[in-house]
Amino acid sequence: MNKLKYILPVLAMVFMLTGCFNDNLVDTNEAVAANSWTYAKSAKATIEIKDVNQAYDIYFKLRNTADYRYSNLFVLAHIKGNGLNKTTRYQFKLARADGEWLGKGSGDIYTSDFSLLTDYRFAKPGKYEIEIEQNMRDNPLIGISDIGITVTKSESK
């Protein structure tokens, strides 16, 4: 029992300190059923903006398998809230011309983080929804295992 008295405060401090080093305001990750990304399935995140002077970086996270048959990926990114209704189409390169995957690999799964917006400032405080949907011709899109969104405070002021 004496050891427990010391271990619990130490564990609590470790958890608090690791939380301080995570600059992600939003960090979502959703598994895609059967590695088949459909039009109906999208990555979604909600962010509360309090300081309009703060700049933010918004990223799309993707994990694909070696079964993905294209070297690129088209997505639609929507940001909505407080009068903002912004949609942008992005093309991301996943593989080189020789077929070598560009993401970080582990077995036959490759992880990539793609920048959507850098140093982005929201015009008004409030809640905003970010949604990313696949915009390829294939439905479902085979070989996509996970999708997600990360929002961080930008380093630039």
What is the H or E stretch that residue 112 is in? strand 109-120
Q: What is the CA radius of gyration of the chain?
A: 19
Ramachandran angles phi, psi of 155, nearest 5°: -75, -30
Domain coordinates in residue numbering, the chain: 24-153
Match 């979502």 to its residue by tokens: 28
For residue 89, the cross-strand partners are 76
Q: What is the pTM of this model?
A: 0.84
**Per-residue pLDDT in tens (0 to 9) along the chain, 157 residues:** 565 455 555 545 555 444 445 678 999 999 999 999 999 999 999 999 999 999 999 999 999 999 999 999 999 999 999 999 999 999 999 999 999 999 999 889 999 999 999 999 999 999 999 999 999 999 999 999 999 999 999 997 5
H helices of the chain, in order, are 2-20
Fold designation for 24-153: Jelly Rolls (2.60.120)
Tokens of 102: 């560009």
